Chain A
Amino acid sequence: MNGKAGTAIRLVDCAKTFPNGTRALDKTSLEMRGGETIVFLGPSGCGKTTLLRVIAGLESPDEGGRVYFDDEDVTSQPIEHRNVGMVFQSYALFPNMNVGDNIAYGLKVHGVAPDKRARRVDEMLRMMQISELRERRITELSGGQRQRVALARAIAVQPRVLLLDEPLTALDALLRERLRIEIDVLLHSLGITAAYVTHDQGEAMAIGDRIAVMNKGAIVQTGSPREIYYKPASSFVADFIGTMNRVTGTLRGGALELPGGRIDWADQQGSGEMQVLFRPNDARIVEEAGAPLRGVVEQQFFLGDRTRLHVTGVADRTVVVETTEHREFRVGQSIGLRIEPGALLRLRD
């Protein structure tokens, strides 16, 4: 048990082709700083779980790929020698053992003496706030409790890296939110390097120090949640994370002309027709008189913390606008909009 917090992980040219010829992962290189939480985000089948399994040692990369933990080349090490902690969507707790024995399992395998083992199990139970569950059978636990036990079991051995494969997907929304916060706090208080796989962009934004967005077996963009959200590198990323408006306008005389008005855009080069993107919360609702853009409310959705409007007439297609204002809108009502040029995005693809 020589695990220390903050192992840096480096993948070099890791691809994965399965025996049946399916290419699950294209050549991928990636660096994870020690103590960093990185989220692999993407739709199902994008290769995110395969990437996680390559790091874990459950899959070996194709010829030429290498995996480093700090400076140690672990490519040929099977998972049992890598000292990684894993948390699965299905929890994967051992049904033949009670909660305490599940948490103690890794310690036992590592040859930790019984008294030290018991102390560590106590510590883990306290940390996850499940001390009263120690003697329980796994079948008697709720989903949230199971995932807490699974986390405790993975962390107990002080792994070099913690790998979480859709750990919250099987839980209901409220519990997911709560455990998400707990996991976030836990990962940062431990200072452990963590890789987290999810298809839920909200989860990715909340937990990741960095997000690696994946599609069709490749990482298409890596960056902080903010970068990914506001500076998507491709239309895939833009569409996958949150809602993105995509409108076509004409650039003329330092402004972008749209059917519903114009957006001053002095520093934009070129002219002619172009496609731009903007987030729903980047379109502000303003007084109709003198508004640079005008449209008509087609539908409104009250979401509690904000109101989402579908507005026609602004652009060549319906745009989505979100506001945190408390006012109510009517369908058919005309409204004014302002979009700052800084919020507009042009994508190459």
Chain B
Amino acid sequence: MRRTPYFWLQLAFTLLVCSFLLVPVFMSIVAGLTENFFVGVKSGFTTRWIGVVWELYAPTIFRSMYIALATLAVTLVVGVPAAYVLAKRPGMATRLIEEFLVLPVAIPGLAIALALIITYGGFRDFRTSWGFILVGHVLYTLPFMVRSVLAVLSSFNFQVLEESAASLGAGFWRRFFGIVLPNARSGIVAGALTVVTLSIGEFNLTWMMHTPETMTLPVGLADSYASMRLEIGSAYTLVFFIMITPLLVALQRYGVQSTRTRKGA
């Protein structure tokens, strides 16, 4: 097939846009691995800055990880049953509750954080514990879990599956864990990946809510940009990249997969 000049024009434009987005990423990675960024790459490559980041900010990395996992645990325990109940009782009330659940996404994180501080700031121990950050993250990520599970539950008639399981003698818990959950798996996994990714990257809320003892990775990033050498901030970005990329890839792949199975079913 002969390519028209129009094709080459389009290709050039696409590459231009891509490079516009990708070059800064690449530059940032290079900066994190360069001895001295102002001198340039000729100053040599090093992993020294990653070491410094590790020394200074390792706790924020681990904290971000366990807050993400705790957020996931809470959204699973709360969000999946919530989605189940919402799917089981469609109607006006259900729609309203669903909209309310999504509100935190629409409200600026800063405003939510302020509201939480005003309300719970008085409880000193709670205010200074990572549990306080957890509450913020759950509030922010829960809708994504509920929506994701709800979408899958609405895509097949799980009630008739439950009824047939019941006719075969299965009680509620057996039906819930043996029939409902396995068939909602794609939505639960997609929701879980979204929640973990959002929680690890969450800045808005966390920046407002954190104390020096409860600093997370993204807040640490801001801190390092503001007060450290450019190379350290860049190396820190690199660490963040390494953590978040596998999650994003998994999210992408699972998202594609689950839409495929749904089409096949």
Q: Are B170 and A92 in contact (CB under 8 A)?
A: no
A78 at the interface (CB under 8 A from B): yes
Q: Are B182 and A157 in contact (CB under 8 A)?
A: no
Residues on the A chain within 8 Å of B160, using CB: 88, 90, 92
Residues on the A chain within 8 Å of B164, using CB: 86, 88, 92-94, 150, 153
B157 at the interface (CB under 8 A from A): yes
What's the nearest-Cβ distance from chain A to residue B23, in Å? Answer: 45
What's the nearest-Cβ distance from chain A to residue B263, in Å? Answer: 10
Q: Which of B119-176 contact A (CB under 8 A)?
A: 156-157, 160-161, 163-171, 174
Q: Are B168 and A105 in contact (CB under 8 A)?
A: yes
Residues on the A chain within 8 Å of B157, using CB: 90, 92
**Which residue of A has the minimal Cβ distance to B161?**
A92
A157–B165 alpha-carbon span in the complex (Å):
12
Q: Are B183 and A79 in contact (CB under 8 A)?
A: no
A90–B264 alpha-carbon span in the complex (Å):
16
A106 at the interface (CB under 8 A from B): yes
**Which residue of A has the minimal Cβ distance to B162?**
A92
Residues on the A chain within 8 Å of B39, using CB: none
Most chain A CB within a 10 A radius of its CB, from B156, B163, B264: B163
A110–B168 alpha-carbon span in the complex (Å):
8
What's the nearest-Cβ distance from chain B to residue A54, in Å? Answer: 13
**Which residue of A has the minimal Cβ distance to B160?**
A92
Instruction: Say yes or no: A96-B166 contact (C-beta < 8 A), given A90-B157, A109-B174, A139-B265.
Output: no
* Interchain CB contact (< 8 A) of B169 among A80, A94, A163: A80
A150–B164 alpha-carbon span in the complex (Å):
9
**Which residue of A has the minimal Cβ distance to B183?**
A96
- Of the A-B pairs whose beta carbons lie under 8 Å apart in the complex, a sample of 28, sorted by A's number, is A56-B167, A58-B166, A79-B163, A79-B166, A80-B167, A86-B163, A86-B164, A86-B167, A88-B163, A88-B164, A90-B160, A92-B160, A92-B161, A94-B161, A96-B182, A105-B165, A105-B168, A105-B170, A106-B169, A109-B170, A109-B174, A110-B169, A139-B265, A153-B164, A154-B168, A157-B168, A157-B169, A159-B167
B179 at the interface (CB under 8 A from A): yes
Residues on the A chain within 8 Å of B265, using CB: 95, 139
Residues on the A chain within 8 Å of B163, using CB: 58, 79, 86, 88, 92
Chain A contact residues, CB within 8 Å of chain B: 56, 58, 78-81, 83-86, 88, 90, 92-96, 105-106, 109-110, 139, 150, 153-154, 157, 159, 163
A88–B171 alpha-carbon span in the complex (Å):
19
A105–B174 alpha-carbon span in the complex (Å):
11
Residues on the B chain within 8 Å of A80, using CB: 166-171
A298–B67 alpha-carbon span in the complex (Å):
82
Residues on the B chain within 8 Å of A95, using CB: 156, 183, 265
A156–B175 alpha-carbon span in the complex (Å):
18
Residues on the B chain within 8 Å of A90, using CB: 157, 160
Q: A106-B169, A154-B168 are in contact. List 17 more A-B contacts (CB 8 A).
A: A78-B166, A79-B166, A80-B167, A80-B169, A80-B170, A81-B169, A83-B169, A88-B164, A90-B160, A92-B157, A94-B179, A95-B183, A105-B170, A109-B165, A109-B174, A139-B265, A150-B164
What's the nearest-Cβ distance from chain A to residue B173, in Å? Answer: 11
A153–B179 alpha-carbon span in the complex (Å):
15
Instruction: Say yes or no: A94-B166 contact (C-beta < 8 A), given A88-B160, A109-B174, A139-B265.
Output: no
Residues on the B chain within 8 Å of A106, using CB: 168-169
Residues on the A chain within 8 Å of B167, using CB: 56, 79-80, 84-86, 154, 159, 163
A105–B166 alpha-carbon span in the complex (Å):
11
What's the nearest-Cβ distance from chain B to residue A193, in Å? Answer: 15
What's the nearest-Cβ distance from chain A to residue B242, in Å? Answer: 34
A109–B185 alpha-carbon span in the complex (Å):
22
Most chain A CB within a 10 A radius of its CB, from B164, B179, B182: B164
Residues on the B chain within 8 Å of A109, using CB: 165, 168-170, 174
Residues on the A chain within 8 Å of B182, using CB: 96
Q: Are B156 and A153 in contact (CB under 8 A)?
A: no
A96–B152 alpha-carbon span in the complex (Å):
14
Residues on the B chain within 8 Å of A110, using CB: 169
**Which residue of B has the minimal Cβ distance to A109?**
B169
